[in-house]
């Protein structure tokens, strides 16, 4: 059974439609890279997967359960589906460990000492064992983004969504974040990531989903899709970003 199942999903804001008939099945342990031009619908589709955006039509199932927008159901969904944004969204007045420990507390996954244990476990996992007591202002952009990833992991989700998490970073900091994501992929975490890092997508993803004008225009195995695109639209996109 697919862990994520989209069937003819649409999304509109009033009369403006941004996603058309998105159909895609994602298995547990799979890594899907969403690529495409700005404005093609990638981030909107990603946000639909954990209920930050409500779909306008079609159906969306997570772990076999249809998505529901009731508050209690959304809270339950977000225990399964965590998201990391381009902006780190860390609380500046909290230490790194408290930023990460807050996530399992808020979601009800853990409290008190157990939440701190989770924070330490996942900060170690992203290579920041020496930064527990630091504040966000003391960290580089790449380190802050790794804290944001640790915070998402501390919820112990089944699915991790990542929205252009390297886009705001200086080039020399991108590598450290991509290393963490590559390790998570090797460990079998289900991930859907919006990225402009085509080389990373090719290496780390199982499949590439190319979005064009709000549609899943071309979907296929990562290596084949990047090296031998089937459509002129994907060929043109790849030529522009390489």
* CA atoms of 225 and 218, how far apart (whole Å): 8
- pLDDT value of position 149: 94
Residues forming beta bridges with residue 212, ordered by sequence position: 215
pLDDT at 112: 86
Taking the C-alpha atoms of residue 7 and residue 59, their distance in angstroms, rounded to an integer, is 5
What local confidence, expressed as pLDDT, does residue 33 receive?
Answer: 96
The CATH number assigned to the domain holding 214 equals: 3.40.50.300
Least confident of 93-107, 112-126, 169-183: 169-183
Tokens of 101: 């420990």
Share of the chain above pLDDT 90, in %: 76
Q: What is the pTM of this model?
A: 0.93
| Model pLDDT for residues 34-81, shown as the tens digit of each residue | 999 999 999 999 999 999 999 999 999 999 999 999 999 998 898 899
For residue 13, what pLDDT is reported? 95
Domain, as residue range, for 163: 4-241
Give the model confidence (pLDDT) of 166-181 as tens digits: 887 888 888 888 899 9
The total domain count for the chain is 1
What residue has token string 């209920």?
A: 51
């Amino acid at each position: 059974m697919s862990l994520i199942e989209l069937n003819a999903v649409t999304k509109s804001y009033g009369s403006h439609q941004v996603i058309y008939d998105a159909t895609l099945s994602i298995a547990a342990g799979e890594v899907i890279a969403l690529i495409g031009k700005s404005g093609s619908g990638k981030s909107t589709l990603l946000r639909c997967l954990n209920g930050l955006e409500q779909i306008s039509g079609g159906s969306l199932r997570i772990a076999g359960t249809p998505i529901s927008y009731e508050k209690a159901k959304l809270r339950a969904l977000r225990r399964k589906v965590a998201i990391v944004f381009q902006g780190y969204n860390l609380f500046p007045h909290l230490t790194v460990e408290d930023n990460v420990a807050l996530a399992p507390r808020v979601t009800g996954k853990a409290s008190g000492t157990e939440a701190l244990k989770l924070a330490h476990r996942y900060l170690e996992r992203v290579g920041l064992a020496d930064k527990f007591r630091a504040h966000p202002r003391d960290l580089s952009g790449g380190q802050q983004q790794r804290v944001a990833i640790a915070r998402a992991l501390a919820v112990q989700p089944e699915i991790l969504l990542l929205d252009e998490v390297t886009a705001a970073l200086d080039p020399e900091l991108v590598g450290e974040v991509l290393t963490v994501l590559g390790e998570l992929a090797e460990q079998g975490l289900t991930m859907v990531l919006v990225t402009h890092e085509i080389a990373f997508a090719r290496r780390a993803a199982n499949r590439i989903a190319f979005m064009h004008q709000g549609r899943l225009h071309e979907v296929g195995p990562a290596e084949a899709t990047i090296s031998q695109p089937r459509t002129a639209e994907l060929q043109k996109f790849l030529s522009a970003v390489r």
